[in-house]
Amino acid sequence: MIQKTPTGTVLYTIEQTIKEYRKICQRNIQKIADDITVDQCLVLIILNDNTTISQIDIAKLIFKDNASVTRIIELMVKKDYLTRETDELDKRKSKLIITEKGKKTIVLLAPVFKLNRKTALNGLSLDEIELLDKILHKIISNCKTS
Amino acid sequence: MIQKTPTGTVLYTIEQTIKEYRKICQRNIQKIADDITVDQCLVLIILNDNTTISQIDIAKLIFKDNASVTRIIELMVKKDYLTRETDELDKRKSKLIITEKGKKTIVLLAPVFKLNRKTALNGLSLDEIELLDKILHKIISNCKTS
DNA sequence: ATTATTTATTTGATATATCAAGTATATTTA
DNA sequence: TAAATATACTTGATATATCAAATAAATAAT
């Protein structure tokens, strides 16, 4: 199954790629805040841009299960990056509010995320990146409609 | 840089792609054996092709941590896909032997893996797949040397 | 208004990811 | 050959992934 041709291996290369990328992300993030993970950072940035977003929509944005998002947020509350209140308009929902610590962290994180992307995509042309994106979306659509 | 999602660039699309692919893999595998995971299947197939491989080398092949491999194998022994013996030539190592149940499963799995790949890569030309592979390896190398 | 259904989130169980520290054996060095 | 180092693997702690089942609140149907 692990063959030499890209046809047999490219899907594993995709997995390898994202793992290597997450490694440099985590490394660079830890220089700034050593009690936060890549996924927690993503949630923080999403909440910063969408203050009223629901957990379900967060899950969709970062391709995670609702259960995972619940637990990620739980830890972020514990670490004082977020506070959580019941939404009075719809009591099933939570209002997630970024704390001062969270806000400070976001300011520090922005350049790190930019650098991570720049590092990973270094030497690739815009055309190549667009093509990569196109091919990946084709694979996603193949999997979803199967 | 392509902003498909608030957080996102093509690097998140890579993550999404592998998640969708793993989903169809798991779905198709479960039709055949409902007590085995995608990762356990990979280990099984690797052991089938390399009967004397060490856990460390398995880890390298599937881009996993040694600790993860230890636990994956533990579960496979528990489920009677493998047996484990101490290697008498080097007592630090384990000899991993595929059981009858494991062998039967491999036979059933081979066409499933083929189908999974075919489904995911459907409609992509060989050129596109080779280009995808090339770009991904460039990203991996960017991350590793950073 | 009561019941049925849907929606948002949580919880439990199990698997994997990652790092660091630990154990046992093997190999190298002094 | 004893001590130092390296190797193969395990274990512990914490985070995330996934599915299924459970809550609880909102909405739709009767």
Could you say which of B11, B120, B130 has the minimum Cβ distance to residue A117?
B11
Statement: the CB of B84 is under 7 Å from strand C: no
Nucleotides of C under 7 A from a protein CB: 7-13, 15-21, 24-27
- A140 in B contact zone (CB under 8 Å): yes
Nearest-CA distance A74 → chain B (Å): 21
Confidence of residue B9 (pLDDT cuts 50, 70, 90): confident
pLDDT tens track for A33-71: 999 999 999 999 999 999 999 999 999 999 999 999 999
Question: In this model, does residue B8 exceed pLDDT 90?
Answer: no
Cα–Cα distance, B68 to B75 (Å, whole number): 11
Question: In this model, does residue A32 exceed pLDDT 80?
Answer: yes
Statement: the CB of B64 is under 7 Å from strand C: yes
Statement: the CB of A54 is under 7 Å from strand D: no
Confidence of residue B7 (pLDDT cuts 50, 70, 90): very low
What topology is assigned to A6-144 in CATH? Arc Repressor Mutant, subunit A (1.10.10)
Nucleotides of D under 7 A from a protein CB: 7-13, 15-21, 24-27
Q: Are A103 and A44 in contact (CB under 8 A)?
A: no
- A16 in B contact zone (CB under 8 Å): yes
Confidence of residue B70 (pLDDT cuts 50, 70, 90): very high
Cα–Cα distance, B142 to A135 (Å, whole number): 20
Residue whose pair of structure tokens reads 């998640």 in the numeric block: B19
Token digits for B49? Answer: 């092709």
Rounded alpha-carbon distances, angstroms, from residue A13 to A7, A41, B46: 10, 25, 16
Q: Are strands B94-98 and B82-86 parallel, antiparallel or unpaired?
A: antiparallel
Tell me if A146 and B119 make a contact (CB, 8 A cut-off). yes
Assigned architecture for domain B10-144: Orthogonal Bundle (1.10)
Domain ranges in chain B? 10-144
Question: In this model, does residue A13 exceed pLDDT 50?
Answer: yes
Predicted local distance difference test score (pLDDT) of residue A71: 98
